[in-house]
Chain A
Amino acid sequence: MPGIPTILFADDDPAVRETTVDLLSLTGAQVFAVASGRAASQFLEKQGVDLIITDMAMPDGDGNWLIAWVRFSAQHRRTRLVVISAHAAPENIAAGLQAGADDYLIKPFEPQHFLTTVERHLKVAIAAHGNATGAGSRSPTSL
């Protein structure tokens, strides 16, 4: 196995974070979860991932901030980024996509559909760049 795909997931809601990490684990990827955009950026400074999934509304560095940070950073600007947000208005979706997200899913999402989307993005990311991270990276959350 050339390496397990890695996903960084940022969401401030602990319940969502918990269930979503469980769901993402079903893809077989290694999932790192953080509670804010700032935390995500700190994580990324240490380690790259194959896919970033982020909530929009977070204290201390929200989704938009994180998208901007990723798109302006030298190492991660090519990393695929999917937004999951409870902001369902079309203007929010448009704003997120315009800021640089590769996809925008509305909470609550249909779990199967979510998984399919994530797997698709992972496949594209790996096909493009190879595995971004080594296995055995430190997980900030213990599951």
Chain B
Amino acid sequence: MDLARFTASIRVPTTLSARIALTLLFTALAVAADWFAPVIFAGHSLVLGVVFYWIALRTIGPNCALFVISVTTLILSIKWGQPYSGAIIAFEGLWVGQAWRNRRNPLLADLLYWILVGTPLSWFLYHQVYPIPRPSLYHALMVQPINGLIAVWIAYMALELIHPSHAEDGPAPAQSFRVFLLKRYVAFGTFPVLVAGLLAARTFEQRVLAEARDNLQSTARHLAAILSREIYLGSSAVQLIASRQSDDRWYGDTPRLNTELDSTRGPAGPFLTMLATDAAGHVTAASPAMARSSPGGLGKGILVADREYFKFPMETGRPYVSGIFRGRGFGSDLLIAISAPVVTHSGERIGIIEGSLPVSRLDQLIREDTPEGTWRSLLTDQNQRVVASHGFEHTPLTRLTNTALGRLLQNKQTVPQRFTDDLAEGRVSFLSVNATLPETGWTLTVQRSWGDALQPVLIAYSLMLAVTVATALLASVFSAWSIRDFLKTWHELIAFSRTLQPAKLATSYNRNLPLEFRELLQNLDHMALRLGSEQQQREKLLAELESRVKDRTRELEHAVVRAQSADRAKSAFLATVSHELRTPLTSIITGTWLLKSGATAKTEREIRTLSTLEKSSQVLMNVISDVLDYSKLEAGGVTIARSVFQPDAIIADVVSILTPGARAAGLEVRIKSQHAPGTTWVGDQIRLRQVLLNLAGNSVKFTTSGYVEIETWIDATGSDRRLRMIVRDTGPGIPADHLTKVFEPFVQLDTNRVMSQGGTGLGLSISRKLVVMMGGQLTLRSTVGEGSTFEFWLPDARAEPTAPSA
């Protein structure tokens, strides 16, 4: 699952009003969903909550989604009294959302959240805001994180389904095929089961709930009937006595009335005491005898006119059943008074007959007739005081007005509904129903624990969850099992692609593999075999080639050695030739000069001959040195030295050599040095001098009028420094088609002038070779009739170790 891409894919509405509207819509939806959702245990709303949060997150962004779920959670918690389910989803959602954004591990984030935030927050919410007993440590630390983990797992699976990592845009993160398949199997396999299980459990839940309601209602009716009958019997007895007293002559006879009351009450009768009054409310007769005689008892003449059981029958003429009260006199029992008026034939009310029914009688009935288990029942009188109960903590006479139970009673609800009571052990839900006792207007409430009533549903949901988990496990196992063969083959293929070692795949043929796989393997095996044979051929060829290369290399090495020794011989030969040619020439030149400059008188012819001799020997010397230089360059016998020198000194030297001849020819030799005086350079000064002398000498030789100029500067504009020199003349110039030709050896444009000027035509060729050898370049620009410009540059040799200056 690519969290970053998921986060990036969230498209939150940009306008504030749209976001507010969407947030309110989501809140309404969530509240509605929660209100009607059958929350049996946290797992149910967990699923809804996570899915819902995911949709909210996608639509309105994390913060608005958090708001929605927080509001929903509060309502959910208050309505259902489930302290944890809602909060889990809310803050789970927040935390997982943040974890997604930060690309942390959501599972780890979840655990951290519950340790650091969830537990204190729950405590605050349910202890301070909505006060109930504090959740147990076990619940806070164990149940909530597990619920959270389940939530995150479901969200994970849902995302894996809805947002698979193999999107078209961008490479997916690498995961092994096993993991890839596992996720798919578990996600695809588990979700239908989960949804089907939820639907089935929901249907089952409706049926169980309907049955539980019917059961409760019939039980309540039955119990109400039993209690009603008891009161009805008492009332009937009182009315019967009263009707027998319609003759007022008899009514005044106290002893007779006492006897009658005693007989009616009897030893096993329902009433604890009975009495009769006159019209003014004075007791005229009472039962039992003990009550008549005991002090503070029901003695003759005691006034009861203020009592409701006297007033109601006397005023209305109808029988009366009182609420619960504590009796006076002996026993101080909790009693219910049942009375009826005594009416004469003429319709005159001359008193009442009253019987006190002990509440313990009703209590006993309720106890006997309330079903066993988590059932409980409660009988309250018209004043909402508890008359009798079973399973409730309230004692008789307790007034329930302004309690949750009292409000429930006021509703007179006769259809079973859910009722949540605050008990010592926490908030407990009951399925509750009311039944009214017709004679008295009393209310009988019968309740059964919600959890107990829906026990089968709980089992159904647990089963559903178990089946889901089992499916996931089975899917995992099945996926692992089903890809086992494929994985093995694939791993072999991977190994094969790594080594390209043939014939190892043959073992795979025996497997019970699909047709396509088998064909692939066979083809690969063939390919490997072919590759192998080709490899062998290649190796053979390579070995052959190698031996050939070795032979050639050996031959070449021999050739190199031969060439090197030949070169050395050539160099030695050249040096010898040079020496042997130069030595006699020395005598010739010196001798000629001596003769010519001698004081003895000479004829004109002698002078001319001497001059010719001098010139010819000069030419010969030039030819010799040029030829030798060129030969040496060609043979590679020239090495480039390095030393520090002043270019200006070299130029001055060259100019001093050329000036006498130039002046004789009427030429000016100029120096144009553009760098600071005393600037030094590192390079081969002798070769530089030779090049400069060649070029400038050449210019002097061919220029008839004007000047020869040597210009120099150090060019540091590029990445490396260069010594640049230009030799410019105002000579005849060189035609464009000869610009390259002049650098070829033994070429002179004007062959007639060779003899007159002396030279071999090797000077330019040698110069260019030398410049190139020193790492530079020599170029020539020329215009016929205007002059020629030789330009060359030399690289800075400072970087290399400098040889000591010679």
Query: Measuring CB to CB, which residues of chain A are less than 8 angstroms from any residue of chain B?
Result: 13, 15-16, 18-20, 22-23, 57, 84, 86-91, 93-94, 97-98, 106-112, 114
Contacts and interface: CB of A to CB of B under 8 A. Distances in A.
The 6 nearest A-B residue pairs measured at CB? A86-B582, A111-B593, A15-B587, A19-B590, A108-B586, A107-B586
A19 B687 contact: no
B584 interface: yes
Given A13-B584, A107-B583, 20 more contacts: A16-B587, A23-B593, A23-B594, A86-B581, A87-B575, A87-B578, A87-B579, A89-B575, A89-B578, A90-B684, A90-B686, A90-B687, A93-B806, A94-B641, A107-B585, A108-B589, A108-B590, A109-B589, A111-B593, A111-B597
Nearest to A106: B582
A20 B619 CA distance: 21
Contacts of B686: 90, 93
Interface string B581-607: 111111111110110010000000000
Nearest to A98: B806
A54 to B, nearest CB: 14
Given A88-B628, A90-B686, A91-B639, A57 B579 contact: yes
A108 B621 contact: yes
Interface in B533-592: 575, 578-591
Contacts of A89: 575, 578, 632
Contact of A19 (B587, B597, B639): B587
A18 B578 contact: no
B440 interface: no
Interface residues of B, number: 29
Contact of B591 (A19, A86, A87): A19
- Give the one of A20, A89, A93 with max B CB within 10 A: A89
Contacts of B684: 90
B694 interface: no
Contacts of A22: 590, 594
A109 B586 contact: yes
B625 interface: yes
B422 to A, nearest CB: 116
B590 A111 contact: yes
Nearest to A57: B579
A22 B140 CA distance: 127
Contacts of B591: 19
Nearest to B660: A112
Contacts of B590: 16, 19-20, 22-23, 108-109, 111, 114
Contacts of A112: 593
A86 B586 contact: yes
Contacts of B594: 19, 22-23, 111
A19 B579 CA distance: 18
17 contacts: A16-B587, A19-B586, A19-B590, A23-B590, A57-B579, A86-B580, A87-B578, A88-B582, A89-B632, A90-B686, A91-B639, A108-B582, A108-B586, A108-B589, A108-B621, A111-B597, A114-B590
Interface string B627-643: 01000100000010100
Interface string B671-689: 0000000000000101100
A15 to B, nearest CB: 4
Nearest to B594: A22
B639 A107 contact: no
Contacts of A108: 582, 585-586, 588-590, 617, 621
Contacts of B583: 13, 16, 86, 107
Given A94-B641, A107-B585, A86 B579 contact: yes
A89 B640 CA distance: 12
Contacts of A106: 582
A18 B593 contact: no
A24 to B, nearest CB: 10
Contacts of A16: 583, 586-587, 590
Contact of A18 (B585, B587, B588): B587
A113 B621 CA distance: 15
Contacts of A88: 578, 582, 625, 628
A112 B628 CA distance: 24
Nearest to A114: B590
Contacts of A98: 806
B697 to A, nearest CB: 14
Contacts of A109: 586, 589-590
- Give the one of A23, A89, A108, A114 with max B CB within 10 A: A108
B591 to A, nearest CB: 5
A111 B594 CA distance: 8
A76 B79 CA distance: 127
A56 B741 CA distance: 39
B686 to A, nearest CB: 4
A90 B639 CA distance: 9
A109 B618 CA distance: 10
A23 B595 CA distance: 10
Nearest to A15: B587
A87 B686 CA distance: 15
A65 B491 CA distance: 83
B491 to A, nearest CB: 71
Contacts of A111: 589-590, 593-594, 597
Nearest to B685: A90
Contacts of B585: 107-108
A94 B806 contact: yes
Contacts of B575: 87, 89
B497 to A, nearest CB: 63
Contacts of A93: 686, 806
A22 B595 CA distance: 10
A111 B613 CA distance: 14
Nearest to A95: B806
B571 to A, nearest CB: 9
A13 B587 contact: yes
Interface in B227-256: none
